Chain A
Amino acid sequence: MSNVPSPAPLNASALTPEGMLSGMRANIRSRKVFDGLFGVVAILALLVSILALVGLFVNLALQGSERIRPEFFLSFPSRNPFEAGILSAWVGSLVVMFVTALVGIPLGIAAGLYLEEYAPKNTVTNFIEINIMNLAGVPSIVYGLMALGLFVYKFQFGQSVLSAGLTLALLTLPIVITATREAIRTIPNAMREAAYALGATRWEVTSHHVLPYSMGGILTGTVIALSRAIGETAPLITIGALTFIAFLPTPPVSTEAPYLSFQWIWDAFTVLPIQMFNWVSRPQEEFQKNAAAAGVILMFMTLAMNGVAIWLRARYRSRVKW
Chain B
Amino acid sequence: MTTRFTSGALLALVPAATLFASLGFSLQASANNLVKVDGSSTVFPVTEAVAEEFQKAKKGAIKVTVGISGTGGGFKKFCRGETDVQNASRPILAEEMDTCAKAGVEYVELPVAFDALTVIVSPKNTWLKSITVAELKKIWEPAAQGKVMKWKDVNPAWPDEPLKLYGPGSDSGTFDYFTEAITGKSKASRGDFTASEDDNVLVQGVSNDKNALGYFGFAYYDPNRSKLRALPIDGGEKAPKKGVAIAPSKESVMDGTYYPLARPIFIYISKKALEKPEVKEFSDFYVNNAGRLAADVKYVALPASAYSAGLDRVAKKQVGTAFGGHNEVGLNADQLMKRTLSLKYAEKK
Residues of A within 8 A of B (CB): 76, 78-79, 99, 101-103, 105-106, 109-110, 156, 158-159, 162, 191, 207-209, 211-213, 215, 218-219, 240, 242-247, 262-263, 265-268, 280-285, 319-322
Q: List 26 A-B contacts (CB under 8 A).
A: A79-B49, A79-B296, A79-B297, A102-B12, A106-B9, A106-B12, A109-B9, A110-B9, A191-B1, A208-B5, A243-B68, A244-B44, A246-B55, A262-B29, A263-B26, A265-B19, A265-B23, A265-B26, A266-B26, A266-B31, A280-B200, A281-B200, A283-B220, A283-B224, A284-B223, A321-B1
Query: Is B48 a contact partner of A79 (Cβ separation < 8 A)?
Result: yes
Contact of B22 among A211, A246, A262 (CB under 8 A): A262
The segment from B58-66, B102-110, B119-127, B135-143 that touches chain A is B58-66
Query: Which residue of chain A has the shortest Cβ distance to B298 in the bound complex?
Result: A283
Query: Is B16 a contact partner of A159 (Cβ separation < 8 A)?
Result: no
Query: Is A79 a contact partner of B5 (Cβ separation < 8 A)?
Result: no
B69 within 8 A of A: yes
Collect the chain B residues with CB atoms within 8 Å of residue A319's CB.
3
Query: Is A283 a contact partner of B223 (Cβ separation < 8 A)?
Result: yes
Q: State which residues 43-80 of B face A: CB under 8 Å.
A: 44-45, 48-49, 51-52, 55, 60, 63-69
Query: Is A283 a contact partner of B200 (Cβ separation < 8 A)?
Result: yes
Query: Is A211 a contact partner of B9 (Cβ separation < 8 A)?
Result: yes
Collect the chain B residues with CB atoms within 8 Å of residue A162's CB.
23
Beyond A102-B15, A105-B9, A242-B68: 10 further Cβ-contacts under 8 Å?
A79-B48, A102-B19, A159-B67, A218-B8, A244-B48, A247-B60, A247-B63, A262-B26, A268-B65, A282-B200
Query: Is A243 a contact partner of B65 (Cβ separation < 8 A)?
Result: yes
Query: Is B44 a contact partner of A247 (Cβ separation < 8 A)?
Result: no
Q: State which residues 1-49 of B face A: CB under 8 Å.
A: 1, 3-5, 8-10, 12-13, 15-16, 19, 22-23, 26-27, 29-31, 34, 36, 38, 44-45, 48-49
B278 within 8 A of A: no
Collect the chain A residues with CB atoms within 8 Å of residue B27's CB.
156
Collect the chain A residues with CB atoms within 8 Å of residue B16's CB.
102-103, 106
Q: How far is the CA of A182 from the CA of B298 in the complex (A)?
A: 56
- A283 touching B199 in the complex, CB below 8 Å, given contacts A79-B45, A208-B4, A242-B68: yes
Contact of B65 among A245, A265, A266 (CB under 8 A): A245
Query: Is B1 a contact partner of A322 (Cβ separation < 8 A)?
Result: yes
B222 within 8 A of A: yes
Residue tally, chain B, CB below 8 Å to A: 50
Collect the chain A residues with CB atoms within 8 Å of residue B10's CB.
207
B347 within 8 A of A: no
B237 within 8 A of A: no
Collect the chain A residues with CB atoms within 8 Å of residue B38's CB.
240, 243
Query: Is A211 a contact partner of B222 (Cβ separation < 8 A)?
Result: no
Collect the chain B residues with CB atoms within 8 Å of residue A266's CB.
26, 29-31
Query: Is A281 a contact partner of B49 (Cβ separation < 8 A)?
Result: no
Interchain pairs with CB closer than 8 A, number: 118
Query: Which residue of chain B has the shortest Cβ distance to A213 in the bound complex?
Result: B1
B219 within 8 A of A: yes
Collect the chain B residues with CB atoms within 8 Å of residue A321's CB.
1
Name the distance in Å between B17's Cβ and chain A's nearest Cβ: 9
B275 within 8 A of A: no
Q: How far is the CA of A172 from the CA of B52 in the complex (A)?
A: 34
Contact of B51 among A105, A244, A265 (CB under 8 A): A244
Q: How far is the CA of A207 from the CA of B82 in the complex (A)?
A: 47
Query: Which residue of chain B has the shortest Cβ distance to A242 in the bound complex?
Result: B68
Collect the chain B residues with CB atoms within 8 Å of residue A109's CB.
9
Q: How far is the CA of A266 from the CA of B36 in the complex (A)?
A: 14
Collect the chain A residues with CB atoms within 8 Å of residue B82's CB.
158
Collect the chain B residues with CB atoms within 8 Å of residue A105's CB.
9, 12
- A244 touching B65 in the complex, CB below 8 Å, given contacts A79-B49, A102-B15, A211-B8: yes
Collect the chain B residues with CB atoms within 8 Å of residue A242's CB.
67-69
B95 within 8 A of A: no
Name the distance in Å between B118's Cβ and chain A's nearest Cβ: 12
Name the distance in Å between A307's Cβ and chain B's nearest Cβ: 19
Q: How far is the CA of A146 from the CA of B68 in the complex (A)?
A: 20
Query: Which residue of chain B has the shortest Cβ distance to A107 in the bound complex?
Result: B16
Q: How far is the CA of A162 from the CA of B65 in the complex (A)?
A: 17
Name the distance in Å between A116's Cβ and chain B's nearest Cβ: 14
Q: State which residues 193-241 of B face A: CB under 8 Å.
A: 198-200, 203, 219-220, 222-224
Q: How far is the CA of A321 from the CA of B3 in the complex (A)?
A: 10
Query: Is A212 a contact partner of B19 (Cβ separation < 8 A)?
Result: no
Q: How far is the CA of A213 from the CA of B2 in the complex (A)?
A: 11
Q: How far is the CA of A262 from the CA of B15 in the complex (A)?
A: 12
Collect the chain A residues with CB atoms within 8 Å of residue B55's CB.
246-247
Max chain B C-beta neighbours (<10 A), residue from A99, A212, A285, A321: A212
Collect the chain B residues with CB atoms within 8 Å of residue A103's CB.
16, 19
Query: Which residue of chain A has the shortest Cβ distance to B11 in the bound complex?
Result: A106
Name the distance in Å between B114's Cβ and chain A's nearest Cβ: 17
Q: How far is the CA of A81 from the CA of B138 in the complex (A)?
A: 40
Collect the chain A residues with CB atoms within 8 Å of residue B198's CB.
281
Max chain A C-beta neighbours (<10 A), residue from B9, B38, B51: B9
Name the distance in Å between A80's Cβ and chain B's nearest Cβ: 9
Q: How far is the CA of A110 from the CA of B13 in the complex (A)?
A: 10
Query: Which residue of chain A has the shortest Cβ distance to B197 in the bound complex?
Result: A281
Q: How far is the CA of A245 from the CA of B36 in the complex (A)?
A: 11
- A243 touching B4 in the complex, CB below 8 Å, given contacts A106-B12, A262-B22, A266-B26: no
Name the distance in Å between A160's Cβ and chain B's nearest Cβ: 9
Collect the chain B residues with CB atoms within 8 Å of residue A267's CB.
31
Q: How far is the CA of A179 from the CA of B48 in the complex (A)?
A: 43
Collect the chain B residues with CB atoms within 8 Å of residue A268's CB.
31, 34, 36, 63, 65
Name the distance in Å between A306's Cβ and chain B's nearest Cβ: 19
Q: How far is the CA of A285 from the CA of B222 in the complex (A)?
A: 11
Collect the chain B residues with CB atoms within 8 Å of residue A156's CB.
27
Name the distance in Å between B266's Cβ and chain A's nearest Cβ: 18
